Structure 1
Amino acid sequence: MSADVTGGEALVAALEVHGADTVFGIPGTHNLPIYAALAGHGIRHVSPRHEQGGAFAADGWARAGGRPGVCLTTTGPALLNAATAAAQAYSDSVPVLLVSPGLPVRHPGRGNGYLHEVKDQRAALDAVVAYSHRVTSVEEIPLAVAQAYAAMATGRPRPVHLEIPLDLLDERGPLHLVEPVPVPPAAPGAEQAEAAARVLGDARRPVIIAGGGCSGASAELLAVAERLGAPVVTTANGKGVLADGHPLAIGAGVHHEAVRDLVRESDAVLAVGTELSPADLWIGPLTPGGPLVRIDVDAQAVITNARPDVAVVADAALALRAIGDRLRPAPPASGHDRAAAARSAFAAQARTEGAAYLGLVSALAQALGQDGFLVGDSAMACYYGALSNLPAHHPRSFLYPTGLGTLGYGLPAAIGAKLARPDAPVVALHGDGGIMFTVQELASAAQLRLPLPVVVSDNGGYGEIRDEMAAREDPVHAVDLPGPDFPAIARAMGCHGVRVDGSDRLARSLEEALAADRPTLIHLPEEHAR
């Protein structure tokens, strides 16, 4: 006989069955039955100071930990606060489960002024996630959770929203837990793998572009690259899938002219787990000098932005393994000279683009070592400095809001990443404009006593927009911000706070911050980041 439980208990029991041991959220009037059940199931609850921070933290948890993050909000404004982070997770293919109450089952369809009432809350979230579903009974809740986890494990991982009418959270009903559904990765068709291997095997100057969809296929990517003797360049989300230092590794950042030249002179291009999106390419699409082979788990993405000569719709690891098995091994050190030339051109362009941040990047590389994670905001120090200049040694080591380009991502996502990977060095990197979007999460990090360095590179406002205004010969205005005392803000929230005036001092501060008893905000005026 099944147990008789409240809707809140049914939700928490279903989350526990699916391996959720950490939830990011804020209690509110309408979600209290969920909180009543949390304590009895041993699920750790982390309290952000804003729901957007909670959903960003769930995103960082998912990226660094390799499994879905969970964010719990209450109705109306709380859930809408989390919507920006949900949209960021959608754009970067990150599995995050958002759970919220909804208005009562029999709430009037056109509204009556109920507390936290939104015209159509489910539809609002449905616009920015893979899907948003409203359950209609206590008995349905475990099934809806199982369906959400199955959806996040099938094909392209993207966020899901579950809405539970608030009256169901206290209502009692039978508990029928649904065990996690085994979802085997999608295998490639033999004909597609054969066609891809034939095109790539006939090439004399192949190149590989690897994106975030290749993060779970690092070993398979390496094997194919070495069999082809193919240089490998990655997108921002693919950074680290081939460790920098390997003779075939070019670097991360497909917007550089060196990458365009490499792709143009290649007689075959293999693109794995990347949208080849405008957000990555910056100045327009690439022009392959030969056939394009694309591997993607998403059948729509594989034909978007660039039409492939061969499309392989499958899990990246399985597809690369199938293709690699059909390739002849290349001679030892094949492609190394070509990769070295491309890497030299790439590095020169990356250093020029990131010249203002090379000292900062050097200090970060020293602090992070081989095992660290850099969590960046949409800031000049990240996309001009760290993206193409910071060495990466393992997949998912560079967490960055690529697709949506959200300001405020770095600090809360770094909290999630550090909780998911407590033994690894984690550093957040922000600009002075973006940090103010989520600066309140310093209080959350302080409460957790995380040894988390938060570097704020300060250029006095919205530096990128300032430069764009000037480039357009528009009036430059509304972009200069009077800087607050960032270290004092940090100290007021229970963190350490320091100001540094050079990369040598920054390196020491990072080392101290990683060993500290709480977070440390490190304020770095941009003129000292060189």
Structure 2
Amino acid sequence: MACPSARRCRNTGTYEMTQTTLAMALAQGFQRHGVKRIFGVPGGGSALPIIDASKELGIEFILARSESAAAIMAAVTGELSGTPGVALACAGPGAASLTNGAAYAKLEQAPLLLLTDGPASTLHQRYDQNALYAPITKHQGRLTPEYGVTDVEEALSLTCRAPMGPVQMNINAAGAVAPATGNIGVPRGDDPPPSDETIAAAAALIEKSRRPLLLVGLEARYGAAPDWALRLAEALNCPVMATYKAKGVLPDRHPRMAGMFTGAASEFQAIDAADLILTFGVDPVEFIAAPWLHDAPIVEIRTADLPRMLLQPALRLIGPICATAEALLANDAGNSDWTSEAIEGLTKTITDRVAVSSNSHTAHSVTRAIVEAAPGRIRASVDAGAHMISAMSLIDADLPFGALKSNGLSTMGYALPAAIASALHDPEIPAVAITGDGGLMMCLAELTTAAEHGCGVITVVLNDSALSLIDVKQQVQKLDRTGVTFAPVDFAAIAQAMDIAAWKVGPGDDMTEAMRSAYAHGGPALIDVTIDASVYKEQVAALRG
């Protein structure tokens, strides 16, 4: 199948395509937007010509073991690359199974294109797939040969337009192999920055402030935004707190970093000490859903207008956040009296609140071992569950995406697919999936995906035979312990049966040495560590109050 050329039309400025199939138009779109690989579980139909056309242009197809995992891999790839992640699935059950990844991408602003076969031509497997995706995507539609080139470009571009997110498109088998028409069009320019009046009003608030606090969020991970976040912090002479998604935007060991921000009680001292709060790229989905109990005015700096903050900000600066930061720094504002000792005190308070002690392994001690044994920079992906408190506090990130976490959706079954995406995107950085046993069982088959592609993924499963965070909630409500435990699972034996190197770490075994061995192994590996879950209740209470 020949790759057609594109030529620019002098009159309109658009790019006209010579005749090609719709599947090839998609593959060319992937190539234009920097897509290196696509993910999915094909069921025939349109998927096969799309995979074939992509292969012809050097775009790899990763066969996942479930559509849900494929969508997470694609979404995380989109986040890491800043280009559209792509996942495809068959009509009916395949399309339904992609929805968890779609919800992740919608709530956490991941650029993702979901290509679903269909709609089905008979009653078999037929339902309104666009309607299914309406609440969890930015746009839903159908790719057809007529204007297909145009629609492909628009769909891919829309995933990366602020706020980034998922787009779902149906495409059937007949349409995929038919000649496509249309043109690429001229890329849309950047949104305008906030008005001079709004910038001046924000600068006036900053000038009055003596104890500003900078909260950085998920929008601050891309391009030059981390650099502008640091410039803001230095110009304002203020402490910085990062949401889970923004961990590493400022290095965790930077002297201005006070710690993680979730909206939990453990952070109240830092928030209450501030007389002005600037949120830089923060999405409200990153906060714990609880009443906002702080009095300091908020200046919200965001790329897009929706969704709204839980509390009405004093000012909203909507537009490209780097341009906004540059405009703010053009004003000689900032009279902070924060001292390094005060910032260190905030950091110590937050760190001390989540510390635990036990004679056995805990999520805390396991995460310390992961960090201490690391041969250099690593990237950790952390599953939802009680272990995330210690993991996100102790993982040392010095760059954006140094830690991956499902925060807005908080889905289980995330850490392993995210780690696979990381290993494929950045094979030189060891990827460590930190997961509970419940979360791993939701995506266990993806260990074979890691093995098949030789991914340098180390899966650390904290084995306590329970859904521990739900167990804690059950205890707090003084309910009988029902529906939150399951029979013990030997994950090391399962991994070995998949030809994956594995270690079992019991209460008296050396976790740090096991991690050193896993790092040295270099290929897919798993560590099955038995932990003491009894410390979680106290830790959750200390964190969340």
Whole-angstrom CA distance in 2 between matches of 1:157 and 1:528: 37
| CA deviation string 1:22-47 (max 9, x = no partner) | 11122212122223323212111111
Partner letter of residue 97 of structure 1? L
* One-letter code aligned to 1:198: A
Q: Does 1:430 align with 2:446?
A: no
Letter in 2 for 1:455: V
Pair 1:144–1:345, CA change in 2 (3 A): same
Aligned to 2:153: 146
Matched, 1:57 2:73: yes
Alignment of 1:119-134 (within 5 A): 119-134=127-142
2:38 to 11, 23, 28: 23
1:337 aligns with 2:344: no
C-alpha displacement of 1:95? 0.7
2:412, 2:533 → 1: CA distance?
Answer: 23
C-alpha contact (below 8 Å) 1:243/1:392 kept by paired residues: yes
- CA shift for structure 1 position 300: 2.5
* Corresponding position of 1:468: 473
* Residue aligned with 1:311, SS: strand
Partner of 1:76 in structure 2? 92
Q: Where do 1:176-215 residues align within 5 Å?
A: 176=182, 178=184, 181=187, 183-184=189-190, 186-215=192-221
Shift of 1:521: 1.2
Structure 1 residues 4 and 290 mapped into 2: Cα distance closer, same or farther (>3 Å)?
closer
> Aligned partners of 2:507 and 2:527: how far apart in 1?
11
Match of 1:225 in 2: 233
TM-aligned CA deviation for residue 218 of structure 1: 1.2
Matches within 5 A, 1:346-495: 346-352=350-356, 356-368=362-374, 371-382=377-388, 384-495=389-500
**Change over 3 Å in CA distance of 1:164–1:404 after alignment to 2:** same
Counterpart code for 2:218: G
Counterpart CA distance in 2 for 1:207 and 1:431 is 34
1:295 and 2:338 aligned: no
Any idea what SS the aligned residue of 1:491 has? helix
Please state if 1:514 is matched with 2:519: yes
CA distance, structure 2, for counterparts of residue 195 and residue 381 of structure 1? 42
The percentage of aligned residue pairs carrying the same residue is 25
Instruction: From the superposition, tell whether residues 352 and 515 of structure 1 become closer, same or farther in structure 2 (CA, over 3 Å).
Output: closer
Change in CA separation of 1:290 and 1:528 when aligned onto 2, cut-off 3 Å: closer
1:72-91 Cα distance to aligned partner (Å, 9 max, x none): 21211111111111101111
Partner of 2:112: 96
CA distance in 2, matches of 1:519, 1:179: 43
Q: Please state how far the C-alpha of 1:356 moved relative to its aligned partner.
A: 3.5
Q: Is residue 27–residue 73 contact of structure 1 (8 Å, CA) maintained in 2? A: yes
Letter in 1 for 2:153: A
Q: Is the 8 A contact 2:374 2:516 kept in 1?
A: no
TM-score, scaled to structure 2:
0.89
- Quickly say closer, same or farther: Cα 1:113–1:424, change in 2 above 3 A: same
Q: Which letter does structure 1 place at the counterpart of 2:400?
A: P
Residue 399 of structure 1: SS of its match in structure 2?
Answer: strand
Residue from 244, 260, 268 that aligns with 1:260:
268
1:241-285 Cα offsets, whole Å, 9 max, x none, are 1112222111113334342122223211111222344x6335x23
Give per-residue Cα distances to partners, 1:364-416, cap 9 Å, x unaligned.
Answer: 2234566321111112212x211223222111211111111111011011101
TM-score scaled to structure 1, two decimals?
Answer: 0.91
Tell me the SS of whatever aligns to 2:387: helix
Q: 2:273 is matched by which residue type in structure 1?
A: E
Q: Call closer, same or farther: CA 1:34–1:290 in 2, change over 3 Å.
A: closer
Could you report, residue by residue, the CA deviation over 1:183-202 in whole angstroms, capped at 9, with x for unpaired residues?
A: 43652322222211110121
Aligned equivalents of 2:521, 2:186: Cα separation in 1: 39
517-526 vs 34-43, greater mean Cα deviation: 34-43
User: Would the aligned equivalents of 1:449 and 1:517 in 2 still touch at CA under 8 Å?
Assistant: no
Q: Give the letter aligned to residue 304 of structure 2.
A: D
Query: More displaced, 255-264 or 202-211?
Result: 255-264
**Matches of 1:186 and 1:524, distance apart in 2:** 51
1:438 counterpart SS class: coil
Gap change, CA 1:485 and 1:141, over 3 Å in 2? same
Quick check: 2:506–2:530 contact (8 Å CA) kept in 1?
A: yes
User: What is the CA-CA distance between 1:175 and the residue it aligns to?
Assistant: 4.7
CA deviation map 1:442-492 (0-9, x unaligned): 010000011210000012121111121121111211111112210111122
Q: 1:247–1:298: structure 2 CA closer, same or farther, 3 Å change rule?
A: same
Matched length: 515
Instruction: Call closer, same or farther: CA 1:7–1:468 in 2, change over 3 Å.
Output: same
Q: Give 2:168's aligned residue.
A: 161
Residues 177 and 526 from structure 1, CA distance in 2 versus in 1: closer, same or farther, beyond 3 angstroms? farther
Q: Counterparts of 2:370 and 2:115 in 1: how far apart (Å)?
A: 36
Counterpart of 1:207, as a letter, is L
Instruction: State the distance in 1 between where 2:84 and 2:507 align.
Output: 39
Q: What one-letter code is carried by the residue in structure 2 that aligns with 1:169? A: A
Shift in Å, 1:226: 1.3
Deviation of residue 152 (structure 1)?
Answer: 2.1
Structure 2 gaps of 5+ residues are 1-15, 536-545
Unaligned runs of 5+ in 1: none
Amino acid at match of 1:309: A
Query: How has the CA–CA distance of structure 1 residues 504 and 185 changed in structure 2, closer, same or farther, with 3 Å as cutoff?
Result: farther
8 Å CA contact 1:69, 1:96 repeated in 2? yes
| 1:36 counterpart (52, 60, 65) | 52
Secondary structure class of the residue paired with 1:52: helix
Kindly tell me: are residues 329 and 286 of structure 1, through their superposed partners in 2, closer, same or farther at Cα, counting changes over 3 Å? same
Q: 1:316 to 1:367 in 2, by over 3 A?
A: farther
* d(CA) in 2 for partners of 1:77, 1:309: 46
Alpha-carbon separation, structure 2, partners of 1:353 and 1:306 = 37
- Name the amino acid aligned to 1:154: R
Aligned equivalents of 1:243 and 1:312: distance in 2?
25
Alignment of 1:272-351 (within 5 A): 272-277=280-285, 280-281=287-288, 284-301=290-307, 303-328=308-333, 334-351=338-355
Q: Distance in 2 between matches of 1:461 and 1:498?
A: 21
1:307-354 C-alpha deviation (Å, 9 max, x unpaired): 1111100222221221122134668x9532221121121111122499
Deviations 1:5-37 (A, max 9, x none): 333223222222222221112221212222332
Q: Distance in 1 between matches of 2:332 and 2:514?
A: 49
1:4–1:316 distance in 2 versus 1, CA, 3 Å: closer
Offset at 1:2? 5.3
Distance 1:329 1:190 in 2: 18
Distance 2:156 2:212 in 1: 38
